[in-house]
Structure 1
Amino acid sequence: MKDANGSRFELLLGEPDWGRCRAPAADGSLRPLAAIWSDEDEAESLVFEPESQSLTLAPRVARFRAAPTDTPADAARRLGAASDAFGNVYWIAQGGARIEVLARDGLVPALHSLAEDAPEAAGEGDFAPLTAPVARTRVLRGLAVTAQHHLVAGVLPERDATGTLVTAGGLRVYDLLAGGPPLPVRWPRHWPFEPFAIASRPGGGVAVLDRTHARVWLLDRRLGMHAVFPVEAADASQPDDFTGEDDRTPAAPAPRQPWFALVVDAAGGGDPVALAVLRDHSVLVLDGEGADGFALLSFYEAGALRARLSTRCILDVLDADEREGFVLRGHDAALAVVADDQPERIVVASHEGNQCFAFDLVEEDDGTLRLKPVRSFLPMRRFAGKGLVRRRPDGPVAMPEDTGLLYDGAGVWLPLVRERRPRYAPTGEFETPVFDSGEPACTWHRVVVDGCIPPGSQVRIATRASDLALELPDQPYRSEPLPVLRPDGSELPWLQDGPTVRTDAAHGRGAWELLLQRARGRYLQLHVVVDSADELATPRLFALRAWSPRFSYARRYLPAVYREDEASFDFLERFLANFEGMFTALEDRIAAAAALFDVRTAPAETLDWLAGWLGLVLDPAVSPDRKRELIRFAVPLFRYRGTTQGLRLVTELVLSDCVRPEDFALPQRSQQQPRGVRIVERFLARRLPRALLGETVVDAPRRVQPGDRWSVQEGPEGLDRRFRAALADEGFEDADSQAFAPVPPPDATVAAAWQRFCAAQLGAVPQLAEALRARWAATVTALPEADRHGLGPELPRDWPANANAQALWRRFVTQGLPRDLRRWLARWQAFLARRYGRIDAYARAWAANWPAFDLVPAPAVLPRAQHALADWALFETRLEPMAAAAHRFLVLVPTSGPLERAEVLAGRMDWARRVVALEKPAHTVFDVGPYWALFRTGFARLGLDTLLGEGSRAPSLAPQLVVAQGQVGASRIAFGKQSDGDRLVLAC
C-alpha cells in the first residue's frame, strides 16, 4: 500500500503479528511473545487482549482485603444451595431443617418451608393415640436441581446417643413442576452414606459427595444408581437394595458397589469440600487444602483419577506485592457459564470469604490437563458462606463480565461479576521483527501507532537501522521522540474515525505519530517500551505502521545549494517533513476520492448521499451492508421495478441473509427452490374447487366421471340441455322452454338459479352483457319518442342501418358508459382484436357486421357458431377472472414456524410490507404473510433443522395462536396438557 508520494508501510496487526515480536524472558533471553504466552512458567508483562484486539500490559489480579469487622466465611453454613432453570434460588437454612426459596425477580424473599411438618392435632370425637407423635425433622445437607426440574436434597443419617445408626441417610426429591410432597429415597443400610454436597449432571441426574467416607455417588436422570464399574450377572440377580421408609425387610447381601473412592495420598486430597460435574460428565472434586497449602482440584473420569491440579498457579497472575504470605484455601467451587466452544471455567471461593478466583481447564494436545488462571478480579462483599450457585444453567450470560454465578452476601443473593479494576504490570518492552524497505540507504519516514495511550502512560520507541541484515543486531538503539496524537485521526483516509482508531483526545485514543530522526538503512527494527503511570491503566496498541522511504521536499523542490551543508540539510529535511506529513494526508484524500463514489468503499455515513444520485431513498433502519447492495444493484432493480422479479429481489435484499450477485442478473427463470421470498399473483392462483377440476378430494383414489362440467365441444345445445336439466332439478315447471343466455332471465327466482348454474358449469358468472344491456336500456328509455325509431332495449347484434341509430350507438360506446364499464368493454374488444386481427375475419367467424372492433358489444344472446362460442367462453371463464385479480398479489416471507419468536416474525412482516409498498405498481393491492421453510417433498435442508415426516404440516409444530398477532392456518389453539419426560404437567 502506497500513499500519494510513493511511501509504503510495514504493518503489525492482530495476534499473529504481535506474537512475532520478541520480549525478555525469565532467563534474560529474548523470546517471541507467542512463545511466552504459551509457556505457563513464564510471567509475561505484555498480553494480547482478544476483546479489543490490542497489545496491552499484563493485568494482575489484586487481592480484595476484608475489612477488620468482616468475618471469614462460615463453613458450617454451607449446607447446600441451588438454582432452577427459571431463576429461583434454593438453599438449606436453620441448621438443615428448612429449605428456603428466593423467587425470581422478587422484591422480598419468598420463604417456603419444605421440611416435614408436625401432624395435625386430632379433632373432637376422632380416634387418636394417647401420645401425639413428635414431628421428625431430618437434617438436610446438599442441594441440587436436575435438568428434569427435580430438587434433590441430601438427608443425613440419624444416630442415637451411643452412636448407633438409627436411620440411614438418603435423599429427598421435590417435584418443582407437579408439586406435591417430597419423595424420600432411602439408602441401603450396608452402604455407608452421609451426603455432604450435591451437584447436577448434564442431561439429568446428580452426583453426591460423601465427605465422611470419601466417596462420590452418581445417580442417573431417574435418580437410580449409575454404575461406574460394570455390574456382574451375579450382582444383578440380587434383590433391590432401595426400599421405602416403612419397609423393614432385612437387606440382602450387598452387590458390587457402583461408586468410586477419592484417593487420599501424600500429595493431598484428604479434605473434599465441594464437587461439580463437567460437560463431559467427568467429576471435579475440590479439596480445601492440599499438601502445598493451596486448594486442590481432582478430576475423575469413569471412576478413575485423571488429574490432580493445585491452584498454586494463581500466584502467576497475582500482584507481586500480594504474593508473599498468600494461600488460597477453597471454601466452595462452581462452574461459570461459558460458551460451548470455550474451555470449562472453574471458580473457587476463597476461605477468607471476600474473593473468588477463576481457572480455565485446558486440555493439551497429549491429553493432559492443566489449570490456566484467569485474570479476573472477582470480589465478594459480606459473603455469608452458603456457597456459589450457578443461576443460568441453560443459556449465555448477559454481559462478558458476568460469571453466571450467585453468592449470598449481606442477606441477599448477589451476582458474581468481574470488576473492571485490574492492576497492570508497571512496564513492558519488546522488539519488533526486522522491517525491510527494499531500498539501500533508505531514510525511514515515520511510525504511526493506532491505539490508546491514557494520560500519564507512555510508549517510548527506539530505532536501529542498517543496510546489512547481519549487522543490524550489532547496532545500538537510538531513542526517538515520544509519539504525538494526530488531531485529524489516522493518516490513511479509509481509517479516518474508524471503530478502532476513533480520535478521543481526552482519553488518548487515536493515531499516534512519530517522525523518525536518523533511521537510515534498508532494514529497520524498533524497540518499544510500554509504561503505565499508576498501574491502573494501560496503553493499548491496535496496530503499528513504519513508513518508508521519506519523500524529501528539500531534494525534490529546493535548489542544490540547500544540500551543501549536511547538518543544515538534515535539519531542513526533518523540518519540512512535518509539513509533508500534513500535506500528504490531504493528497491521499484527493487521490482516494474515487473510493467515496465506490459503493464498496464509501463510508457508511455517505451512503444516503450516494443513493440520492440514483434517486434512492434508503430506510434508516436498513443496515449499511444492505444499503451498499441496494445502491450497487439499483440499475437492474429500477429496470425491473414493479415486476414480480424486482419485488422479490428487493424484499430478499432487505430480509434475507444470503443474496448472491448472480441473483440480480435479470431476467431469470421463475423461482425453483422452496426458499426465500415468494410472490404469488392472484390471477395465477387456483380459484376453482378441486372437485370441479377433476382432482381427488380424499386421500383414497376415487373414480371420476367424465363430463362433470360443460365444455365448448358440447356446443350451445349442450349448454342449453344442461341448463334445462338444472332448472328441472330445482323444481321449475317451465324448464323445458328455457334456453341459456349470457344475461340472467327477467324472473328473479330463475335468475338466482341461472347464477348457480353458471358458477357450477362455467366456473364464473358472466356480467358484462347484462351491465351493457341495463345501461343501453336506460339510454334508449331517456330518448324522446321521435328518436327511438328502430331502437329497442336489447343490445344490437349488428351495425344499425339508420344513421341516427349509428350515431347514438357510437356516442353510447364512447361517451355514455361509466369509466369502469368502458374499461370492461374495452377488454372484450381488445380480446377480439388480438384474436382476429382484422374486422372482416371477425365478421366471418361471428356472422356479424361491424365497422370496427371498438364498436362491438358483448353478446347478449349465446353465440351459435363454434368459434364465436369459444371466444365468449374463453373471455368470460378465463380472462375476466384473471383480469379481476391481476392487480392483487401476495408476498410470502419464510419463517421457521414455532422456532420463530412472535416479535421477530412481526418485524419481518412489517419490513416486507414497507418495502413492497414502496416498490409495487401504484394500482396494485397486496398482502404479506409467512410460510414455513421446513421439509417439503423433493427438497430437504440438511442440518440441525431437517425434519422428516409431516414436516411443516405437523400440528404439533404450529405455534400457539395469539389474538391479533397469529396467522390463521399457521398456528394452533393451545391445549392445557403437555408431556415433560415421564410426567404429565397440568397447565394453569
Structure 2
Amino acid sequence: MNVNGARFQMLFGRDDWSRCRGSDAQPLALWWDALVSPMPLPPDDLPGWDESRSEISLQPQLIELPATSGELRLTLDARRGASADRNGNVYRIADDARSLLVTSSGSGNESAFWPAQPADCGAGRGELRLAFEPAQAPREPVAERYLALTTTQDDYLVVAFARGTLRGLMSFDLISGGPPLQIQWPDAVPFEPFAMCARHGGGAWVLDRAHRQLWELDCTLAVVNAGHAMIDFAPAQIDDFQPLSGPPREQAAQRFPGGLDLAKTAVALLDPIAIQSHGEGRVMVLNRDLVQQRSQVVRLQRDGEGWGVDASQWLDALPALAHDMVYAAGLGQGGASEEARLFIASEIGNQVHAFDVIDRDGRFSLRAPAELYPLRRYGGRALVAVAGKAHYDCGSAQPRWTPVVQQHRQRFAAQAVLVTPVFDSDELGTVWDKLLFDGSVPPDCEVEIESRAGDELSGWFDGQSQPADDAQVIGGWLREPQPRLRGDGPELPWLRREAARATRREAGSGTWELLLQHARGRYMQLRLTLRSRNGTTAPRLRALRLWAPRFSYPQRFLPAVYREDVDNGDFLERWLANCESSLTQIEDRIVNVESLFDARSVPQDALPWLAGWFDLALDPSWDERRHRLLVQHAMDFFRWRGTVHGLRIALSLAFESDFDPIVFDGPRAQDEGAGRIRIVESYQTRLVETLVAQALPLAQIGLDQTGLDASAGPRTLQRGRLWTPAEGNAGLADRYAAWQQRTVTPLQQITPFSLAPPNDTDAAQDWRDFASAELGFVPTVGAAERARWQSFLQARYVQIDALNHAHASAWSGFDEVLLPAAPPTVQAAIDDWRDYCARGAGSRERKLWQDFLARRYRRIERLRAAHANAWTDFEQVPLPDRLPASFAAQTDWLQFERQLLAMHRTAHRFSVLLPVASVIADPYALEQRLGLARRIVELEKPAHTVFDVRFYWAFNRVGEARLGLDTQLGAGSRASELIPDAVVGRAYLGASFVGGRERLSGRDRLSLEC
C-alpha cells in the first residue's frame, strides 16, 4: 500500500502465471504440465515458461538444421561400437571391424589396442582354438570381426566378436592388463550382437537387433535369466560307460538362460538399434518404425522376474529416423557442464537432439528443450560418453572425439496470447490506476495489453469468496496504451540491482509502466499479446502488478468546475494521474524514511552510509547478510569490543559461513565447540598439574619414556602430594631432610626454610629439584629480591664492617645479608630500607606482592595480625626470601608465587587459532586468511596486549587441545578423507598418497601410501 491507500495485486512465479489461460480458454498449467506426456498439440499461440529465469515468454521452437545438399543419409552400416573408460580413454572398433583402436585421453592420439598388428587377426593371439582337433589337419585361419563393445563400471572392456559361424565375448582387464579372456557363445543359441552398453554394478547389456533379443550379462559375463524358459542346446545323453548294477547313468541336458524377446514385450519393438543403461535393472532402447518413419525410446525395467515397459511418445522432434543415442551431459554456455540428457542423432547427421528424461510418478517420458547441438563431420560411427559428457566421432580429424556443445541460437513463435485471472478490488466502481510489469521487451518485440472491467462477473467464486480461475468479466476488450520503460528503475527495491545488471546486459530490460485508460469497475481482467517480429528475440515477463484505486487529484484538490465537462475532465484526470504517480513515490519515501535507518530494510547501496554512523568499515568481500548483521548489532559489537568474546565475534563474521547472530548476545557454550575459532589467553594455560608434570623428571615420578609406570600402569599426578601451609615450616624441613636422606634436627624444624638456593652449585641444583618435586615450582623472586638488596647495600657501604656498624649487625659478608623480616629499629637501617623501596629498578615483583597484600587485607592492621609482623605501610613490606612464620603468610606467599605471579608473567598475551579442515587447502589462500585474521585482531584487541595467529587441526594437540572440546572421534590425522594425493613439490612424506584411492566394486587400484 502506498501513502494514498492504493494497493497492488501481482502475478509472480510459475504458480501465478499458470493460472492464466491461453487463446483456447484452457489454463496454461494444463499445457505446461502436458508437455512431458503424450497430449494433443498445443495451440500455436501458447506462451512458454522459462524455468531457469522464472519468466513467461513466447514458446521456444526447435531449430532444425537442413540436410546438406548432395549428402546421403546415414545408414546403420556406418555404426561402429565405441566406449570410454573412467580415465577418458576411448576404445572403438576399426572401420574394417578387424581390430580395436584406443584414443589416449592424455595425448589424444589413436593407436592399435588389439591385436597389436592387424595382420595378427587370423591365427595367433586373438584366435580361439577348440580343445580337441586333428593335429595332422590344421584349420584354415578365419578372419575375426568385432561386432560391438563397451567398458563396464568395474573397468573391463567387453567385446563381442564373430569368427565364421562362431560367436563369443572377449573381456580385457583394463587395470591389470594382459590378454583377454574369451568366452564362446553356444552355437545352438542365436546371437548377433549389434550394440552394447555398461550395466549398473558391473557387466553389460547386449542388444541382438537381428533376433530382437536383449541379453543381460553380470560382472562375470554370465547371462542373467530374463524370466523366460531355459534353452536346451544339448539333449540328455546316455554315458558310454555304465555301472554294473543300478539305473543307467546319463548326462543331463545342457541348458542356457534365455534373453528378453523384445518383440513380445508390452510395447513391441519393431527395429531396436541402440541401448543405454538408466540405473539398476533399467535400460533404454531406441526403437524405430520403418513403415511410419518415426522413432521412440522404450524403457525396460526389471520387476522381479518380469519386466515393466514404458514407452515415450513418438519423437516428433526428429526430422528423420533415429540413428544412435547416448545418455550423458552436454556442454552449455561458456563450457559449463549440463545435466545428463539423452542425445539422439538422426539419419541426417548434422545435429543431435537433446531430450530430458523425466520419471514422474513411475511414468517414463521425454521432453525436448528448444536447444541446438550441431555436429560437424559426423559420419555416424558412434556417440559416446567420455567422463560423463557426450562426444561424437568426427572422422580422421584430430582430436577424433569432439564434445557435443550447445550453440546458443533461439527461435520463438511469432505470437502468444494469455488472459489473466480476474482481479478483485473489493469496491464497486473502482478506477484502476496503472499496470507495471518487470521483464524485457527487446527491439522488434512488443507487448499489447487489453483490459475489461466491470461490476458484474460471469463465473463462480471459490470457498474464500474470491473469483474462480474460470470466472470472466462481462464486457468487451478495450485496447490500452503501449507500455513505456521506466527511467528510474523498478519500484520494488529488491529488483533494482537485478534490473541494473539486466539493463547493462540487454536492451529493453527493466520495469514497464502504463496508465490504464478504460478500466472502471470492481473486477478487472487483462489480455496480453506477446509478439516477436524477427523470431529470434522474445518479450519476457517476470512479474505483473496492477494498482487500484486511483488517487484523483481533481477530486481531492480542484473545484468541481474542472470536472463538469466530461471530456476535458477525463483528460485532466489522466494528465494529473501521471503527476500523482511521480509525487506518490516521493511521498512514500518520506513516509517510509525510517526504513533507511534500519539495517534490515535499508537498500544495500545505502548500507555503507548507515555503517558510517558507527564509524564501521564494511569488508567488500563479505556478503550482504554479514553487512546487515554487523550494522544491526553495532552497539552489541562495541559493547563486547576489547574482550575475548568481541574478538570471536569479529573473526566469526569474517570466517564462519554459518555465522549465528545470537553470538552478539554473549558467550555461549557452543562457541567452544570442536572446529571453531579458538582464542587462548596465555595465562590460562599454566595449570598447577601441568607445571608439576613438566618440572619433574620422569625417573623421579616413576614413569618410563612412554609415560607408563611399569608396575602400576598409568600414573595419576595428585595435587595433595605437594607441600601445603598446613604442614608448616617443620613439615617442609622434614621433606627436605628426607629428600637429602638425612635426619632433621629440632633446630632445622624451627629455622625458616630458605626460599633462595644455596651458594654451592651442586647444592643449589639439589635444592631446585626438591622445590620442583615438593612445592610444584622453583621459588625465584625472593632470591632475586635478596640479591638486589645485597647489591644496594654493597654499593652504599662498600665494606661489610661499615654495614655492620650502621645496622648494628654481625654479617660476615654481603652475600649473607637477608631481607628484613620485620621493620628495622636502627635509624640507618630504616633509612636504607626506605631508600631501597623507593628505587624503581627491579621493583616490579615487589610492587605486585605489595598490591596483592593490599587488595587482600585492605588495612595494614589486618596484615600485621595475619602475618604476625609490625610493618606500618604496605609499601614497606618485602618479598619473602625465607618461609614466612604464620599460616596466613605462608598461604599468601604460596598463592602469589606459584599461581598469580606465573599468570601475571603471561598476562596480556593470547593466541588466535584458526581451524583447518583439509590438508589440500591452497597455501596461498591460507596465507591470505592468516593475514586477514591478523588485521582483524589488530583492530579489535586491547592496545596493551600481544598476540599471535596460527592454524590448528580439530584434533588432539599436546598443550593446545581440550578434551571434549577440540577432539573428534573418527577424524584422526590419518583419516582417509583428509589425506591428499601427492603432488610433486608440495607433498610431505607420511601425509599423502601416491596413486588412486578409489574403491571400484571390490577391485582396489594399485596405490602406495607414503
- What TM bracket, shorter-length normalisation? 0.7 to 0.9
Partner of 1:48: 49
Are the equivalent residues in 2 in contact too, given 1:495–1:501 (CA < 8 A)?
A: no
Q: In the alignment, does 2:979 pair up with 1:959?
A: yes
Q: In the alignment, does 2:361 pair up with 1:347?
A: no
User: Could you tell which deviates more after superposition, 806-815 or 192-201?
Assistant: 806-815
* CA positional deviation for 1:539: 0.5
Per-residue deviation, residues 449-481 of structure 1 (Å, max 9, x unmatched): 110000010000011111222496431111011
Q: In the alignment, does 2:871 pair up with 1:850?
A: yes
CA distance in 2, matches of 1:498, 1:924: 46
Query: Sequence identity, in percent?
Result: 33
Are the equivalent residues in 2 in contact too, given 1:309–1:371 (CA < 8 A)?
A: no
Residues 716 and 201 of structure 1: is their aligned pair in 2 closer, same or farther, counting only changes over 3 Å?
farther
* CA positional deviation for 1:565: 0.7
Secondary structure in structure 2 of the residue aligned to 1:596 = helix
Corresponding residue to 2:409 among 410, 417, 421: 421
Partner of 2:242: none
CA distance in 2, matches of 1:864, 1:644: 41
Residues 91 and 609 of structure 1: is their aligned pair in 2 closer, same or farther, counting only changes over 3 Å?
farther
CA distance in 2, matches of 1:227, 1:939: 56
Partner of 1:206: 204
* CA positional deviation for 1:708: 5.0
Partner of 1:154: 159
- Structure 2 matches for 1:203-242, cutoff 5 A? 203-221=201-219, 223-229=221-227
Partner of 2:85: 84
Q: In the alignment, does 2:323 pair up with 1:330?
A: yes
| Aligned-partner residue type, residue 33 of structure 1 | L
- Structure 2 matches for 1:605-684, cutoff 5 A? 605-666=605-666, 668=668, 671=671, 674=674, 676-684=676-684
* CA positional deviation for 1:853: 2.6
Residues 708 and 266 of structure 1: is their aligned pair in 2 closer, same or farther, counting only changes over 3 Å?
closer
- Structure 2 matches for 1:658-737, cutoff 5 A? 658-666=658-666, 668=668, 671=671, 674=674, 676-685=676-685, 688-689=689-690, 692=693, 709-723=722-736, 726=739
User: Could you tell which deviates more after superposition, 852-861 or 748-757?
Assistant: 748-757
Corresponding residue to 2:358 among 335, 355, 362: 362
Partner of 1:61: 62
Secondary structure in structure 1 of the residue aligned to 2:487 = coil
Partner of 1:142: 148
Q: In the alignment, does 2:452 pair up with 1:464?
A: yes
Are the equivalent residues in 2 in contact too, given 1:337–1:392 (CA < 8 A)?
A: no
Partner of 1:246: none
* CA positional deviation for 1:445: 1.2
* CA positional deviation for 1:335: 3.9
CA distance in 1, matches of 2:684, 2:13: 56
Partner of 2:784: 771
Residues 957 and 446 of structure 1: is their aligned pair in 2 closer, same or farther, counting only changes over 3 Å?
closer
CA distance in 2, matches of 1:796, 1:254: 113
CA distance in 1, matches of 2:831, 2:70: 113
Are the equivalent residues in 1 in contact too, given 2:202–2:218 (CA < 8 A)?
A: yes
- Structure 2 matches for 1:134-283, cutoff 5 A? 138-148=144-154, 150-159=155-164, 164-165=165-166, 168-176=167-175, 178-187=176-185, 191-221=189-219, 223-229=221-227, 253-257=253-257, 259-263=259-263, 269-283=269-283
| Aligned-partner residue type, residue 630 of structure 1 | L
Per-residue deviation, residues 15-65 of structure 1 (Å, max 9, x unmatched): 11101111123xxxx011111212242425211112111101110011122
- Structure 2 matches for 1:856-875, cutoff 5 A? 856-875=877-896
Number of residue pairs aligned between Structure 1 and Structure 2: 916
| Aligned-partner residue type, residue 308 of structure 2 | R
Residues 889 and 4 of structure 1: is their aligned pair in 2 closer, same or farther, counting only changes over 3 Å?
same
| Aligned-partner residue type, residue 393 of structure 2 | D
CA distance in 1, matches of 2:621, 2:895: 48
User: Could you tell which deviates more after superposition, 612-621 or 706-715?
Assistant: 706-715
* CA positional deviation for 1:7: 1.7
CA distance in 2, matches of 1:973, 1:361: 41
* CA positional deviation for 1:764: 2.9
* CA positional deviation for 1:185: 4.8
CA distance in 1, matches of 2:281, 2:499: 42
Partner of 1:307: 309
Per-residue deviation, residues 617-643 of structure 1 (Å, max 9, x unmatched): 222111111111111122222112232
CA distance in 1, matches of 2:913, 2:985: 16
Are the equivalent residues in 2 in contact too, given 1:464–1:475 (CA < 8 A)?
A: yes
CA distance in 1, matches of 2:871, 2:984: 57
TM-score by length of 1: 0.82
* CA positional deviation for 1:344: 7.0
Supply the RMSD in Å over aligned alpha carbons. 4.5
Residues 949 and 929 of structure 1: is their aligned pair in 2 closer, same or farther, counting only changes over 3 Å?
closer
* CA positional deviation for 1:285: 1.4
Secondary structure in structure 1 of the residue aligned to 2:382 = strand
Are the equivalent residues in 1 in contact too, given 2:686–2:902 (CA < 8 A)?
A: no
Residues 572 and 284 of structure 1: is their aligned pair in 2 closer, same or farther, counting only changes over 3 Å?
same
- Larger radius of gyration between Structure 1 and Structure 2: 2
| Aligned-partner residue type, residue 781 of structure 1 | Q
Are the equivalent residues in 2 in contact too, given 1:345–1:359 (CA < 8 A)?
A: yes
Are the equivalent residues in 2 in contact too, given 1:897–1:932 (CA < 8 A)?
A: no
| Aligned-partner residue type, residue 887 of structure 1 | H
Per-residue deviation, residues 704-754 of structure 1 (Å, max 9, x unmatched): 69775444444444444444555669xxxxx99999633333333443444
CA distance in 2, matches of 1:754, 1:872: 18
Residues 663 and 968 of structure 1: is their aligned pair in 2 closer, same or farther, counting only changes over 3 Å?
farther
CA distance in 1, matches of 2:404, 2:78: 19
Q: In the alignment, does 2:590 pair up with 1:590?
A: yes
| Aligned-partner residue type, residue 277 of structure 1 | S
Are the equivalent residues in 2 in contact too, given 1:260–1:304 (CA < 8 A)?
A: no
| Aligned-partner residue type, residue 822 of structure 2 | D
CA distance in 2, matches of 1:964, 1:804: 77
Are the equivalent residues in 1 in contact too, given 2:325–2:342 (CA < 8 A)?
A: no
CA distance in 2, matches of 1:432, 1:361: 32
* CA positional deviation for 1:289: 4.2
Corresponding residue to 1:381 among 365, 370, 376: 376
CA distance in 1, matches of 2:567, 2:983: 86
CA distance in 2, matches of 1:916, 1:896: 22
CA distance in 2, matches of 1:442, 1:19: 26
CA distance in 1, matches of 2:837, 2:294: 104
Are the equivalent residues in 2 in contact too, given 1:61–1:375 (CA < 8 A)?
A: yes
Residues 505 and 899 of structure 1: is their aligned pair in 2 closer, same or farther, counting only changes over 3 Å?
closer
Residues 949 and 495 of structure 1: is their aligned pair in 2 closer, same or farther, counting only changes over 3 Å?
closer
| Aligned-partner residue type, residue 408 of structure 1 | D
Are the equivalent residues in 2 in contact too, given 1:332–1:350 (CA < 8 A)?
A: no
CA distance in 2, matches of 1:882, 1:840: 28
CA distance in 1, matches of 2:968, 2:866: 57
* CA positional deviation for 1:431: 0.8
* CA positional deviation for 1:385: 2.5
CA distance in 1, matches of 2:962, 2:878: 49
CA distance in 2, matches of 1:741, 1:130: 113
- Structure 2 matches for 1:506-655, cutoff 5 A? 507-655=507-655
Are the equivalent residues in 2 in contact too, given 1:442–1:548 (CA < 8 A)?
A: yes
TM-score by length of 2: 0.80
CA distance in 2, matches of 1:621, 1:940: 30
Secondary structure in structure 2 of the residue aligned to 1:648 = helix
CA distance in 2, matches of 1:715, 1:198: 93
Partner of 1:795: 819
Q: In the alignment, does 2:426 pair up with 1:406?
A: no
Are the equivalent residues in 2 in contact too, given 1:692–1:708 (CA < 8 A)?
A: no
Are the equivalent residues in 1 in contact too, given 2:157–2:173 (CA < 8 A)?
A: yes
Residues 713 and 661 of structure 1: is their aligned pair in 2 closer, same or farther, counting only changes over 3 Å?
same
Corresponding residue to 1:924 among 946, 949, 957: 946
Residues 105 and 173 of structure 1: is their aligned pair in 2 closer, same or farther, counting only changes over 3 Å?
closer
Are the equivalent residues in 2 in contact too, given 1:355–1:379 (CA < 8 A)?
A: yes
